[in-house]
């Protein structure tokens, strides 16, 4: 499964992002031209010339200037007064000619704009992937699968984040939810990820990693008036040679431990969210959870558990996860199954329904292997 695909938000149709129109749209003007031409030949009772007038503007929406010009020329030949069967007069021909010229000009402008949109979208996507690059299927001794759906239509990264890094103290992972879920949260996401990646290499204690991330947000918030930057986060550590996971939770939903066909939240002592001055309150508590062969952990953001169905009920992730896991052997299969079930629960009908969640969704599945 592509990590890029696993992080896409609700898809924006490609032709609205500057990409070529779908095949049916490209075939529509030519198909209508053929139908109207045949109907005009075999029907004398129906006036069809006025219907031909819509074809050049329609072609300008889906074709480039050359193809629009060719189709407009075909229309002009059909309505020309010297064409057998044509009922158009000189005035009508002039109107068709003006409409055709304007359609070609519009097609040229639209084609140039589409080329610019393609370039802009490519740069934006590359920038977002630089902030949150594709997650490897295995980091050290831990198999991973991440899935991200942004509330902002078409975005790859918004206000949620996850990452998994190997370092001197084992494999460390983070899932966090930054205040806000639009592009304004992207700089905060970048700052948090940078702090986490440095701390994963430098700090021996998992609580110190949380303190460094908190300090990063505190410093950034102080530099901007009324910034109010904060984020909930959960940090996990798989120390080398040990069958245990250490967890620090800063105001975030606890991870779920999937074991023996059951799923349950890990019991944790919650620290305040990052950015509110953890250092002044002391280091957050680190919980140590023994692991068994086959255990899997699912960390997530509240966009999952706070999603609602049509009746207003919250999505029961812990109750539905075991059944989904029974049919998903691979980590990536399970995260995709959770998203599909979430969409079905909220009545998405196969598409992401942001109006029933109003938040980003991030899932990170971690499956440690035996040391």
Residues 164, 70, single domain; the answer is: no
pLDDT top residue among 152 and 212? 212
Residue 220's pLDDT is 81
Residues 285, 157, single domain; the answer is: yes
Cα 30 to Cα 73: distance, rounded to the nearest angstrom: 12
Residue 370's pLDDT is 74
Q: What is the mean pLDDT of the chain?
A: 82
Residues 224, 260, single domain; the answer is: yes
Residues 57, 150, single domain; the answer is: no
Least confident span in 22-31, 81-90, 239-248: 81-90
Residue 87's pLDDT is 56
Is 5 part of a structural domain of the chain? no
Final residue belonging to a domain, choices 111, 127, 143: 127
pLDDT at 124 over 70: no
Residue 359's pLDDT is 72
pLDDT top residue among 19 and 369? 369
Residues 121, 165, single domain; the answer is: no
Least confident span in 84-93, 133-142, 170-179, 220-229: 84-93
Q: What is the mean pLDDT of residues 59-80?
A: 86
Residues 281, 304, single domain; the answer is: yes
Residues 118, 143, single domain; the answer is: no
pLDDT at 113 over 80: yes
Q: Facing residues of 271 across strands?
A: 250
Is 1 part of a structural domain of the chain? no
Based on the structure, what is the number of domains in the chain?
2
pLDDT at 273 over 70: yes
Residues 220-237 pLDDT 10s: 877 666 556 789 999 999
Q: What is the mean pLDDT of residues 201-218?
A: 93
Residues 299-330 pLDDT 10s: 999 989 998 888 889 999 999 999 999 988 89
Final residue belonging to a domain, choices 78, 96, 127: 127
Instruction: Tell me whether residue 108 is exposed, middle or buried, using C-beta atoms within 10 angstroms of its C-beta: 0 to 12, 13 to 18, 19 or more.
Output: middle
Cα 132 to Cα 189: distance, rounded to the nearest angstrom: 9
Residue 9's pLDDT is 46
Is 207 part of a structural domain of the chain? yes
SS3 string of the chain? Answer: CCCCHHHCCCCCCHHHCCCCCCHHHHHHHHHHHHHHHHHHHHCCCCCCHHHHCCHHHHHHHHCCHHHHHHHHHHHHHHHCCCCCCCCCCHHHHHHHHHHHHHHHHHHHHHHHHHHHHHHHHHHHHHHHHHHCCCCCCEECCEEEEEEEECCCCCCCCCCEEEEEEEECCEEEEEEEEECCCCHHHHHHHHHHHHHHHHHHHHCCCHHHHHHHHHHHHHHHHHCCCCCCCCEEEEEEEECCCCCEEEEEEEECCCCEEEECCEEEECCCCEECCECCCHHHHCCCCCEEEECCCCCEEEEECHHHHCCECCCCCECCHHHHHHHHHHCCCCHHHHHHHHHHHHHHHCCCCCCCCHHHCCCCEEEEEEEECCC
Q: What is the mean pLDDT of residues 110-128?
A: 72
Cα 155 to Cα 161: distance, rounded to the nearest angstrom: 13
Q: Which residues contact 207 (CB under 8 A, 6 or more apart)?
A: 248, 283, 284, 285, 286
Residues 168, 87, single domain; the answer is: no
pLDDT at 135 over 80: yes
Final residue belonging to a domain, choices 92, 127, 162: 127
Q: What is the mean pLDDT of residues 49-68?
A: 86
Tokens 């991200």 belong to residue: 148
pLDDT tier for residue 278 given thresholds of 50, 70 and 90? confident
Q: What percent of the chain has pLDDT over 90?
A: 43
pLDDT at 21 over 90: no
pLDDT top residue among 149 and 121? 149
Write the CATH number for 231. Answer: 3.60.40.10
| Domain assignment of residue 93, given as a range | 14-127
Least confident span in 136-150, 153-167, 170-184, 220-234: 220-234
Residues 47, 105, single domain; the answer is: yes
Residues 122, 155, single domain; the answer is: no
Residues 198, 345, single domain; the answer is: yes
pLDDT tier for residue 254 given thresholds of 50, 70 and 90? very high
pLDDT top residue among 105 and 221? 105
pLDDT at 199 over 50: yes
pLDDT at 286 over 90: yes
Is 7 part of a structural domain of the chain? no
Residues 89, 175, single domain; the answer is: no
SS3 string of 316-331? Answer: CHHHHHHHHHHCCCCH
Least confident span in 120-124, 137-141, 271-275, 279-283: 120-124
């Amino acid at each position: 499964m592509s990590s890029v695909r696993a992080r896409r938000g609700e898809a924006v149709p490609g032709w609205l992002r500057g990409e070529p129109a779908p095949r049916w749209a490209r075939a529509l003007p030519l198909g209508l031209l053929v139908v109207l031409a045949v109907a005009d030949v075999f029907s004398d009772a129906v006036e069809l010339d006025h219907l031909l007038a819509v074809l050049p503007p329609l072609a300008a929406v889906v074709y480039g200037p050359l193809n629009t010009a060719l189709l407009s020329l075909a229309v002009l030949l059909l309505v020309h007064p010297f064409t057998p069967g044509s009922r158009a007069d000189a005035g009508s021909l002039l109107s068709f000619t003006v409409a055709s010229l304007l359609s070609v000009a519009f097609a040229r402008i639209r084609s140039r704009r589409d080329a610019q949109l393609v370039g802009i979208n490519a740069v934006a996507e590359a920038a977002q992937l630089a902030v949150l690059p594709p997650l490897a299927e295995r980091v050290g001794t831990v198999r991973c699968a991440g899935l991200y759906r942004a509330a902002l239509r078409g975005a790859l990264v918004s206000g949620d984040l996850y990452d998994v890094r190997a370092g001197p103290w084992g494999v460390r992972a983070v899932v966090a939810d930054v205040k806000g879920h639009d592009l304004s949260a992207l700089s905060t996401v970048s700052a948090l990820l940078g702090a986490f990646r440095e701390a994963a290499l430098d700090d021996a204690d998992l609580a110190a990693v949380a303190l460094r991330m908190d300090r990063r947000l505190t410093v950034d918030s102080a530099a901007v008036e009324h910034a109010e930057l904060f984020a909930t986060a959960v940090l996990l550590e798989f120390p080398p040679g040990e069958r245990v996971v250490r967890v620090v939770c800063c105001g975030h939903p606890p991870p779920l431990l999937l074991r023996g066909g059951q799923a349950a939240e890990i019991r944790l002592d919650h620290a305040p969210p990052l950015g509110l001055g953890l250092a002044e309150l002391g280091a957050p508590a680190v919980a140590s959870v023994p692991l068994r062969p086959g255990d899997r952990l699912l960390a997530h953001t509240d966009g999952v558990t706070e999603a609602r169905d049509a009746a207003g009920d919250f999505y029961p992730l812990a109750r539905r996860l075991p059944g989904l896991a029974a049919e998903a052997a691979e980590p990536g299969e399970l995260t995709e199954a959770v998203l599909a079930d979430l969409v079905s629960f909220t009545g998405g009908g196969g598409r992401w329904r942001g109006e029933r969640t109003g938040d980003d969704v991030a899932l990170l599945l971690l499956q440690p292997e035996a040391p």
